[in-house]
Amino acid sequence: MLDRKILLVLVGIIGFSLGFSGPAAAQNIADGKEGMSVQKVSFPNGNITVVGNLFRPASFDKNRKYAAIVMVHPHGGVKEQTAGLYAQRLAGQGFITLAYDASYWGESGGEPRNKEVPATRIEDISSAIDYLSTLPQVDINNIGVLGICTGGAYALNAAQIDSRIKAVATVSLFDIGDARREGVDKSITYDQRVQRVRQMTEQRTKEARGEPVKYVPIVPESPAEFTDKTLTLYREGYEYYRTPRGRHPNADNRQVFTAGLAQLAFYPLANMDVISPRPILLIAGEKADTRFYSQIAYDKAKNPRDLFIVPGATHMDMYDKPQFVSPAVAKLKGFFEKNLK
């Protein structure tokens, strides 16, 4: 078998010499506005094949190099949703962008399906950078990362350990580790957390003995599940993920129950200071019940850093609503143009 690095180089050379076509950068699947195009690509994360959409800007010139941005989708999402929207919008600003399905999700490989393990998600990001670094038209010294929701936590954590990330940004940052330990509204008690750990470890034993994998929902399946304690975040999660607004067949609102153990042990904001002197941009909605996560990240980071609040926006508003996405994209454009030369 070919060495992984050799394979990646061959994928990059073949992909770009044919205009992003070839064995691992398959077919042209769409054309965007003003000549912008997108191709389906794939790359390895260990023994898992990760599948993504690689966007190229209008008037793409195969003889020049471009700054590139890796898009990291939310927990439970897929590349065709908000990550793909931001990828398309930023490609329209002249960047090469890559939105991919995380390992175990969407079109990417990995079993059991819908397994959300932070360490794997972070390695997805570095694997995406591995892939981009093999493409002749990508400037390896100017690669950034944009993470949305939980993807923002993974993006920040990846920047702490991968120096190839020259600039990192988040939209509607969500710290999945803190949310599992404390709850977004700080409603989870110590005893409840201990009980949940016991339940998940007991389920691991059951599955080791041959019982089927247990899945649990990510957001409510219907408004009938709402109570007076249901946060705006989860009410809007239903609206985005379970209605035609953002629903996608590859995002089926289920997750592996026992993967919560790895999430409980995830502290993505613990070492924010080590990202400096590389720049950080944190974008949050003014009315988001998760806004405080962006503030915590900002307070823990060193300069250069920026916290940009979008007036009137909630957490999910930032996913797809034009009046909120547009100012975010404008801010991201300036940030990445300045910091990815």
Q: pLDDT tens digits for 27-67?
A: 233 434 546 899 999 999 999 999 999 999 998 999 999 99
Q: How far apart are CA 268 and CA 281, in angstroms?
A: 16
Answer for the pair 118, 266: CB distance below 8 angstroms, yes or no.
Answer: yes
The Cα 67–Cα 339 span in angstroms is 10
Those residues with Cβ within 8 angstroms of residue 325's Cβ, 6 or more apart along the chain or in another chain: 85, 86, 89, 318, 319
Query: Token pair of 126, please?
Result: 């570095």
Give 184-235 pLDDT, tens digit per residue: 999 999 999 999 999 999 999 999 999 999 999 999 999 999 999 999 999 9
Q: Give pLDDT, residue 35.
A: 63
Q: Which residues contact 207 (CB under 8 A, 6 or more apart)?
A: 213, 214, 258
Residue indicated by tokens 């250069």: 304
Element (H, E) at 204: helix 190-208
284: β partners:
309
Sequential pLDDT tens for the chain (341 residues): 344 443 443 333 334 333 333 323 322 334 345 468 999 999 999 999 999 999 999 989 999 999 999 999 999 999 999 999 999 999 999 999 999 999 999 999 999 999 999 999 999 999 999 999 999 999 999 999 999 999 999 999 999 999 999 999 999 999 999 999 999 999 999 999 999 999 999 999 999 999 999 999 999 999 999 999 999 999 999 999 999 999 999 999 999 999 999 999 999 999 999 999 999 999 999 999 999 999 999 999 999 999 999 999 999 999 999 999 999 999 999 999 999 98
Beta bridge partners of 49: 44
pTM (two decimals)? 0.91
Question: Can you give the pLDDT at residue 24?
Answer: 32
pLDDT given at position 171: 99
User: Residue 6's closest CA among 18, 27, 24, 26?
Assistant: 24
Integer Cα distance of 42 and 59 in angstroms = 24
Residues 6+ apart with CB under 8 A from 14: 21, 22, 23, 24, 25
- Using left for φ > 0, alpha for ψ between -120 and 50, and beta otherwise, residue 59 falls in left
Q: Tell me the CA end-to-end span of the chain in Å, nearest whole number.
A: 37
Q: What integer pLDDT is reported at residue 36 of this predicted model?
A: 82
CA atoms within 13 A on the CB side of 124: 32
pLDDT at site 268: 98
**What is the set of domains in the chain, with CATH numbers?**
4-179+262-336 (3.40.50.1820)
Structural contact between residues 122 and 50, judged by C-beta atoms closer than 8 angstroms: no
